[in-house]
């Protein structure tokens, strides 16, 4: 519940310490709990976003102390001095953001305005690259009727790779309250030969790809789509309900909740084949889509995918939940260090796409085993309890009310610390506007992953089926087909492989060994298929797998190492064109 309008932000800031149940001292205790659990150790030289500077202290850059160090603390004043480093947004600024209540449409629009050559229109319009208008738009992008307004196209003037147009739309799906938020980039006057579809990670939104849209839409004949997954971002948020009773059934139903929406979108857009890029949980869902809906992918690109390696705690219902994980690094790792530094344990050759193939995967794995891996940190008991109770992490943002922006700043200040201040602030606002929305697709997390980001149905058990499925009616679940026999009553038409690219950041907390093992398993399945393939099947063989390391990047490879990521993507998209010409998929 919001406070009465007669209370100003300044009055709230002064009164919050005494009148709000989660005042400063209580918040310090919350900060203590979070950071003891996550083992946060903020580097004293970390660059801070000036727009997120705390109004309560000027020493946010000081290294916070761990529980074991507090016995040496000289005073309570010194102890509380560094707390703002955990959540750097001040109380007054946080209250102002909460009070403003910016909608996801507004914050998404601001993030997309950073795309080069893109005018700053309302989100639900399309533009070329004309200079920004000096007149304010008369459209209200927060009103539903304006979402159906005719798109406005401007001329392309200063676009060296144009003319192009951007379009933002809400694509309606069957059923009540089901639609996907879609952002697309189209090259004007060109025939569309290939489509690239981009899917974000857990709880995120398509706006996080803002540093990739312009670069990835330069190739002639390509149309780019970015989608918010159902129940996330600005897509609709229908109630998330699981009806299955058994463990495996719950997993499959949760996966299908997302990938069925993607398939429905594909059919509605009239797209036959496309290249699919998924990040983190989006990568997990991309694999599930490839298994359940075979025959529609030209290439599968997995950017730091979650859920590949197997963990006995995650897959065995009779065992306790995992006690440690590298996932904690998502919240504690400062991207200023990842983006501006390098990992000396990874050779230069391992950071290029050409040298990260199956043939030298073993050597890279051996080298990785001898080097430092992302540190595993203990998972607190309260976290595993809340996880199993399916209490979403975004629930805390919603419950915290005016303290929500401050809580979110604990993640955004580290996640976007390597970006210019205005972009970092825009992404913070965007993140908070998404995190505070009604819970929906986020509740799938506990069904798909165990605490610590290990999958309950690991992809390493299934990924060999990607590109090897029987092509028929859609499968009932995202599981690999039997390699020995065709479905009863159906023609024996089977996929002959698709290329799979697994990308990881140089300083990624995700397990790269899992990616290398997945690439090996895909290659092993290829050899097995070729052993019994017909001459025609051998001629149409198109499968392979490789691991690519993105320089100076963490888990969010597309953002931390955008230039290298975009360069690798350009190579992979050109490779799709070459393969399509060989296989005859391209229209003459």
- Predicted pLDDT of residue 26: 40
- Predicted pLDDT of residue 522: 97
Please check the confidence at residue 136 and state whether its pLDDT lies above 90.
no
Please check the confidence at residue 346 and state whether its pLDDT lies above 90.
no
**Residue 466 confidence class, pLDDT cut points 50, 70, 90:** very high
Task: Give the alpha-carbon dihedral of 94, 96, 99, 104, to 10 degrees.
Answer: -70
Please check the confidence at residue 218 and state whether its pLDDT lies above 70.
yes
Question: Of the candidates 329, 336, 364, which has an alpha carbon nearest to the alpha carbon of residue 549?
Answer: 364
Please check the confidence at residue 259 and state whether its pLDDT lies above 90.
yes
Please give the residue that has the higher pLDDT: either 588 or 435. 435
- Predicted pLDDT of residue 342: 59
User: 176-180, 280-284, 332-336, 575-579: which has the minimum mean pLDDT?
Assistant: 332-336
Highest mean pLDDT among 310-319, 345-354, 505-514, 557-566: 557-566
Domain ranges of the chain: 9-100, 104-150+166-238+246-392+439-483+498-583
- Predicted pLDDT of residue 22: 38
Catalytic residue among 96, 280, 431, 457: 280
The alpha carbon of 322 is separated from its chain's Cα centroid by a whole number of angstroms, namely 23
Residue 197 tokens read as 């579809």
280 is known as an active-site residue: yes
- Predicted pLDDT of residue 132: 42
**Residue 260 confidence class, pLDDT cut points 50, 70, 90:** very high
Q: Distance between CA 259 and CA 154 in Å, rounded? A: 34
Q: Distance between CA 64 and CA 83 in Å, rounded? A: 7
- Predicted pLDDT of residue 325: 42
- Predicted pLDDT of residue 558: 96
- What's 228-259 look like in SS3? CCCCCCCCCCCCCCCCCCCHHHHHHHHHHHHH
Catalytic residue among 260, 429, 508, 580: 508
Please give the residue that has the higher pLDDT: either 259 or 69. 259
Please check the confidence at residue 349 and state whether its pLDDT lies above 60.
no
**Residue 86 confidence class, pLDDT cut points 50, 70, 90:** confident
508 is known as an active-site residue: yes
Q: Which fold has domain 104-150+166-238+246-392+439-483+498-583?
A: Rossmann fold (3.40.50)
User: 31-35, 104-108, 122-126, 421-425: which has the minimum mean pLDDT?
Assistant: 31-35
Q: Are 353 and 546 in contact (CB under 8 A)?
A: yes
- Predicted pLDDT of residue 5: 39
Average pLDDT over residues 390-416: 80
Query: How does DSSP classify residue 544?
Result: E
- Predicted pLDDT of residue 359: 34
Please give the residue that has the higher pLDDT: either 297 or 125. 297
User: 73-82, 249-258, 426-435: which has the minimum mean pLDDT?
Assistant: 73-82
Catalytic residue among 279, 555, 556, 564: 555
Please check the confidence at residue 18 and state whether its pLDDT lies above 80.
no
Please give the mean pLDDT across all residues of the chain.
74
């Amino acid at each position: 519940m919001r406070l009465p309008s007669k209370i100003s932000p300044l009055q709230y800031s002064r009164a919050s310490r005494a009148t709000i149940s989660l005042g400063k001292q209580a918040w310090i205790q919350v900060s203590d709990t979070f950071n003891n659990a996550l083992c946060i150790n903020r580097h004293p030289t970390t660059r801070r976003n000036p727009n997120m500077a705390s109004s309560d202290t000027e020493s946010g850059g000081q290294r916070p102390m761990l529980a074991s160090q507090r016995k040496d603390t000289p005073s309570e004043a010194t102890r509380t001095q560094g707390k703002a480093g955990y959540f750097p947004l001040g109380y007054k600024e946080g209250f102002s953001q909460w009070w403003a209540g910016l909608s996801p449409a507004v914050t998404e629009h601001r993030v997309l305005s950073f795309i080069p050559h893109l005018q700053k229109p309302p989100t639900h319009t399309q533009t070329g690259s004309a200079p920004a208008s000096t007149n304010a738009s008369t459209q209200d992008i927060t009103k539903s009727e304006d979402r159906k307004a005719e798109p406005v196209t401007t001329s392309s003037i200063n676009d060296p790779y144009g003319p192009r147009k951007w379009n933002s739309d809400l694509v309606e799906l069957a059923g009540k309250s089901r639609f996907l938020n879609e952002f697309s980039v189209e090259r004007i006057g060109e025939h569309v030969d290939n489509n690239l579809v981009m899917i974000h990670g857990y709880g995120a939104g398509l706006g996080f790809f803002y540093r990739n849209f312009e670069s990835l839409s330069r190739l002639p004949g390509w149309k780019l789509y970015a989608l918010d997954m159902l129940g996330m971002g600005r897509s609709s948020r229908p109630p998330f309900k699981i009806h299955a009773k058994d463990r495996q059934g719950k997993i499959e139903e949760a996966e299908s909740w997302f990938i069925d929406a993607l398939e429905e979108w594909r059919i509605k857009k009239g797209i036959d084949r496309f290249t699919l890029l998924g990040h983190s949980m989006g990568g997990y869902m991309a694999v599930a889509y490839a298994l359940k809906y075979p025959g529609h992918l030209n290439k599968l690109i997995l950017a730091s995918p979650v859920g590949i390696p197997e963990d006995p705690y995650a897959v065995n219902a009779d065992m306790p939940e995992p006690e440690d994980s590298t996932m904690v690094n998502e919240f504690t790792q400062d991207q200023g260090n990842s983006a501006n530094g390098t990992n000396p344990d990874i050779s230069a050759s391992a950071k290029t796409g050409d040298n990260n193939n199956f043939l030298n995967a073993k050597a890279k794995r051996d080298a990785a085993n001898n080097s430092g891996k992302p540190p595993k940190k203990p998972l607190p008991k309260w976290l595993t309890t809340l996880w199993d109770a399916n209490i979403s992490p975004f629930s805390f943002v919603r419950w915290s009310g005016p303290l929500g922006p401050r809580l979110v700043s604990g993640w955004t200040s580290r996640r976007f610390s390597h970006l210019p201040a205005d972009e970092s602030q825009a992404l913070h606002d965007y993140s908070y506007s998404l995190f505070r929305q009604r819970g929906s697709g986020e509740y799938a997390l506990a069904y798909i992953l165990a605490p610590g980001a290990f999958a309950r149905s690991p992809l390493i058990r299934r990924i060999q089926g990607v590109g090897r499925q029987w092509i028929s009616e859609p499968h009932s679940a995202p599981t690999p087909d039997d390699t020995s026999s065709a479905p009863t009553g159906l023609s024996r038409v089977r996929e002959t492989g698709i290329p799979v690219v697994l990308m990881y950041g140089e300083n990624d907390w995700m397990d790269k060994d899992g990616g290398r093992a997945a690439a090996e398993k895909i290659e092993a399945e290829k050899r097995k298929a070729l052993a019994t393939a017909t001459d025609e099947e051998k001629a149409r063989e198109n499968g392979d797998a490789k691991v690519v390391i993105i320089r100076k990047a963490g888990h969010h490879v597309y953002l931390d190492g955008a230039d290298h990521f975009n360069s690798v993507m350009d190579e992979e998209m050109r490779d799709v064109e070459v393969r399509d010409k060989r296989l005859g998929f391209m229209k003459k």
